[in-house]
Structures are given as structure tokens and as C-alpha cells.
Chain A
Amino acid sequence: MPQERLYRTEAIVLRQTDFGEADRILSLLTPRGKFSAIAKGVRRPTSRKAGHLELFARTNLLVARGRNLDIITQAEASEAFESLKTDLLRFTYACYAAELIERLAQEEEDDGGALFELLLGLLRWLERERDPAVGLRHFELRLLDGAGYAPQLFTCVSCAKAITEQVNYFSAEQGGLLCTECGASAAGVRAVSVNAQKVLRYLQKREVVEVRALWLAPATHAEVESVLLDYIEHVLEREVKSATFLRRLRLDLQRLAAGEQSSASVERPKT
């Protein structure tokens, strides 16, 4: 029998997967990277740990090294994000962020805590700020940066000339902006407005506290969001499931707010 070793770590729960009778396997982000561990018996209502290991909770763990998976022996939540319980959009944003981290971050790769701080910053943003989505755009750009996929936004990815203040083009494949000359004839690129380019550059270079004052016109925000998602899906070489879900949810919420039926509803006979 290998000797059991205990260690302490802080973590944010990224994903929970039911396992066995009453256990869950948790994907956790810690200041020393991402890893998986098992929490035994947490699906039982009497579990003392369950409430401390909720999705997206920030929690202090005591973990025992196991043969396959490490085992969580104690947990104490230190920060809970209440708005995720009461706001469907904010909850979906948090899911989206967690999905990106799961896809982009390598298991047990120590980045000095940068990713942990980035996610914590986003969760706090979602908890406190009026416009939750701006924080998400900032998160995307910083995450891409940390993973080595920062889009090139200041010089043309093709001819390396400085990008000037006019409509330019974005290429997901080449990972950045193309100047008018290079972009006009290129395939698979999209035109990007001057405002959207400015926002992208601004968000890429700032800390989360600095972007708090930023207000984006809905059209500009939609453009930035779409450019980034295209690029992220290109980098991941697959669809981001939470983003697809988010699109549908927004349509549903709009319809419901307008007093119409959601897509989950059916034709109602007129009375």
C-alpha cells in the first residue's frame, strides 16, 4: 500500500460528474493548475461536504492522494456566488467560462495562479457588475493570451503593417487582423468595424478593474462577441457547447419577455 499523503489547496469547482452511488468526480481549478478529484457521498443530502463543493464555489480543500484519483476529505467554501443561482444568464456565462478553461488549460499545468485569478475575477464580476458580458469578453481575451493564442490586433497578420483606423478584416485561421489591402482579397475573413477593433485592443491590454467603466453599444458588443467566438471555436477546433446553449437561451428569454411562447412551448390553439 502506498502511503496516503494529505495536502491542502484552494480550488474553484469547474465541473461535476456523478459517479457511483453517491459520489461525484470534480474538475477543479487551483492556483497550481487544473486537476480532478473524487468527492465521496456528496450526493447524499446528509453530506457535510456537498454544500462546500457546489459548482463554481471557491473552496479550501484537504485532499488525500489516491491511486487513481485524489480524494477530497474536507472542504470549506470561502466564497459563494449567489447571483449564479438567481440569474440564468450569469449562470450560463459562468458555465461558458468553465468550459473554455476545461478545453484550453492542460491538466496539472502550473501557471503561477494566473488562470485561477482570472476565473475568480470573472466570477466576482458576474456577482457584482451590471453588465456581466463585458467581463466575459475580457476573460476570453486574457484566457487566449495565457494559452498562447492571443489574437494579433495591432499589426496585420499577413504583411505586418500597423493596423490603421478604418474597417479591417479578422481572420480566425491566421489569428488576428488583416489590413484592408491584405483582407479584401483573402478568403474566410470578416470585416470588423473601427469600434469593435478598439474594444478588442482595449480589453486585451487591461486588467479587470480597468475595464469596469467600459460601456459598449449593443451592436459593437455583438460584433466583438461574434469575432471572439469564431476565433475561439477555430482554436478549439470544435463548437463551444455553452455558447450554442447561450444563443438559444437569449432567444427564449427575449420571447418570454415579449410575452410570446418559448421554443419549448407548442402551438397553442387560439381561444
Chain B
Amino acid sequence: MSATPKSVQRLIDALGRLPGVGPKTASRLTYYLLRAGAAETEALAEALSQLHKSTVLCSVCCNISEQDPCEVCSDAARDHETLCVVEAPLDVLAIEQTGQFKGLYHVLHGHISPMERVGPDELRMRELVRRVEGGQVREVIVATNPTLEGDATAMYLSRLLEPYGVLISRLALGLPRGGDLEYADRVTLAEALSGRRKL
């Protein structure tokens, strides 16, 4: 009894497979595009079709980029002795936006997850070891998420990199800005206490 034209339904289905988009949102987006006109949909289609054609994984840091090596890795002005290891490309963006970090990145594309059978071999750890083996790296900052899987990934990395004598650190854990102490959970508070710094 569906009155939806096939081509419309096809787009709804495709959008509905995106993370965080339910069938309702998918319909809303599709009907928006129908109203928006051909110029807008063609621009979107063009952007979509270029997405995979014009991006590559940087062979150095494994981030998604338009060139290989990526802009960050080929920037001689950056500190090539310090690596920041993150779970995902969006994390690179978040750290870049702080403007505080001048080193290079390494993107793992995930975290250790025994239940999903994601281990060292499924993550870009081999590439990381190769970079550290190269000898130029002095410090590795592990910026995995403050979750149990992020902790497990950090633990594994520190064991893995230990033999190379580089300085290994983890992002400080503690209280979120703008929060209220009384609502903090015990674990976060304990970590904030043990990670306190001198005033």
C-alpha cells in the first residue's frame, strides 16, 4: 500500500543506513531534497561521488587526506618528534582546533574491542610501530577516549612501544569544563584528584 515512488524510497533507504539517521529523518531529508531543486541535489551528488575518488589514507599517519603524505605530515614546520595517537579522524580535527598541538598524529581507526574482535591487527598499530622504529619520534601522546576500550588500547600501546624508549603519555583525565563537582561520578573525581596539578 506504499504510495512512495521507487526512486524516492531508494534514497530514504540509503539515508536510513547512515549512523544516527532513523527512517523518519531519512524521509524528512529526502522530501527536503525533492523540494530543494536540481542544483542542490546535483551539488550533493557530485560531493558524494568525489568522496572516495579524491581521498586517500595518508601512508604516514593513516588519517584521511587528499594527498599522500597528508598536509600535516608534510608540514616541515611541525614538530616531527611528537606523535599524538587518536582513535578517529574527527579526533584529529578536535585537537587541531585547540591550536595547542604542533606535532604529528597517528590515527588508529578504532579501539581495542574484544567483543567485536578488534585487536592490534585490526587497528593501525603496525604503522605506528614502524614510525617509532624509524627513530625520529621522542614522545607519543596517547589520546584514546576515556572509556574502558580507550584505556585498554592505551595499555596495549604502552606495552608495544616500551622497547623503543620513547616517552609515552596519556591525555589528562578529569573534570569537564563548566561542570558541577557535585554531579561528577566517583571515577572521574578520583582521576581528577590523582591527576591534580600545582597551582
Residues of A with C-beta under 8 A to B147: 16, 54-55
| CB-CB nearest in chain B for A268 | B133
What's the Cα separation between A92 and B112 when bound, in Å? 10
B115 x A242 contact (CB < 8 A): yes
Contact B160 A241 (CB under 8 A): no
**B185: nearest residue on chain A (CB-CB)?**
A51
Residues of A within 8 A of B19 (CB): 18-20
Docked CA distance A88–B20 (Å) = 31
Are the CB atoms of B20 and A21 closer together than 8 Å?
yes
A77 touches B114 (CB 8 A): no
Query: What's the tally of chain A residues with a CB closer than 8 Å to chain B?
Result: 50
A54 lies within 8 A of B148 (CB): yes
Chain B hits for A19, CB < 8 A: 19-20
CB within 8 A of A264: which of B126, B186, B188? B126
Q: How far is the CB of B94 from chain A (nearest CB, A)?
A: 10
User: Could you say which of A172-180, A191-199, A255-263 contacts chain B?
Assistant: A255-263
Interface residues of B in 135-167 (CB under 8 A from A): 147-149, 151-152, 155-156, 159-160, 162-163
Interfacial chain A residues near B188, Cβ < 8 Å: 51
Shortest CB-to-CB span from A238 to chain B, Å, is 12
Is B179 among interface residues, defined by CB-CB distance under 8 A? yes
Number of cross-chain contacts by CB at 8 Å: 107
Contact residue among B117, B120, B155, B183 (Cβ-Cβ distance under 8 Å from A262) = B120
Q: Mark B163-199, 1 if CB is under 8 A from A, else 0.
A: 1000000000000111100011111100000000000
B52 located at the interface, meaning its Cβ lies under 8 Å from any Cβ of chain A in the complex: no
> CB-CB < 8 A to B129: which residues of A?
261, 264-266
Complex formed: what's the CA distance from A216 to B17 in Å? 49
The listed residue (A52, A99, A268) touching B115 by CB distance below 8 A is: A99
The answer to whether B119 touches A248, judged by C-beta atoms less than 8 angstroms apart, is yes
Is B42 among interface residues, defined by CB-CB distance under 8 A?
no
| Distance A259 CA – B162 CA, assembled complex (angstroms) | 10
Contact of A91 with B126 at beta-carbon distance under 8 Å, contacts A245-B114, A256-B160 already known? no
A232-271 interface mask toward B, CB cutoff 8 Å, 1 = contact, 0 = none? Answer: 0000000001101110110011001001011111101000
Give the distance in Å from the alpha carbon of A76 to the alpha carbon of B156 in the complex.
29
Cβ of A144 within 8 Å of any chain B Cβ, yes or no, is no
Q: How far is the CB of A33 from chain B (nearest CB, A)?
A: 20
Q: Does A98 contact B (CB under 8 A)?
A: yes
Contact of A86 among B115, B133, B155 (CB under 8 A): B155
Top 8 nearest A-B pairs (CB, nearest first) are: A51-B185, A20-B20, A264-B120, A95-B114, A242-B114, A241-B117, A245-B114, A264-B125
Given contacts A51-B184, A91-B151, 19 further A-B contacts (CB under 8 A): A19-B20, A46-B177, A46-B178, A48-B179, A51-B187, A55-B148, A57-B187, A86-B155, A88-B156, A95-B115, A241-B117, A242-B117, A248-B119, A248-B120, A256-B160, A264-B125, A265-B126, A266-B126, A266-B133
Give 15 A-B contacts (CB < 8 Å), ordered by A residue.
A45-B176, A46-B179, A51-B187, A54-B187, A57-B187, A86-B151, A91-B152, A95-B114, A242-B114, A242-B117, A248-B120, A256-B160, A262-B160, A264-B160, A265-B160
